[in-house]
Amino acid sequence: MNRIARLSAIVALTAFPLAGVSHAAGMEENWPQQIDRTVASYKGSNFNIVHTDTVDSGNWTGNPTAAEQASFRKALESNRTLAKELKARNVALADVVGATEAADGGLTFYVR
């Protein structure tokens, strides 16, 4: 009986962290807070490009204000390394309408 109790406790403790990940991955996102800071300081090429005509924009953009959009645009243009990486993938900066940060630290850019 003691073995069964230990095994049950181990299974329960290993399942808790996984439950949080699946819940977070399934939630709709609003305009990501501080995405402008993330974009401005982002280094690397771990990012995806998603065309907005392939997704429901209500699930990721929320309702950004004009100030949030302007701050995002300024941050994107200020990161020359990231701008160069996006251009290498044939993405015009003017076409990027938003971004989200993934759990692994990568970014997803939404392009019209």
Please, what is the average pLDDT of the chain? Answer: 77
Q: How many angstroms separate the first and last alpha carbons of the chain? A: 60
Q: Helix (H, G, I), strand (E, B), or coil: what is residue 28?
A: coil
Question: 35 — phi, psi (to 5°)?
Answer: -65, -30
Would you mind telling me the total number of residues written for the chain in this entry?
112
Distance CA 110, CA 100 (A): 8
How far lies 28's CA from each of 33, 73, 100, 104, in Å? 14, 23, 11, 18
The pLDDT value recorded for residue 27 is 36
63: which strand partners? none
The pLDDT value recorded for residue 89 is 93
The pLDDT value recorded for residue 49 is 92
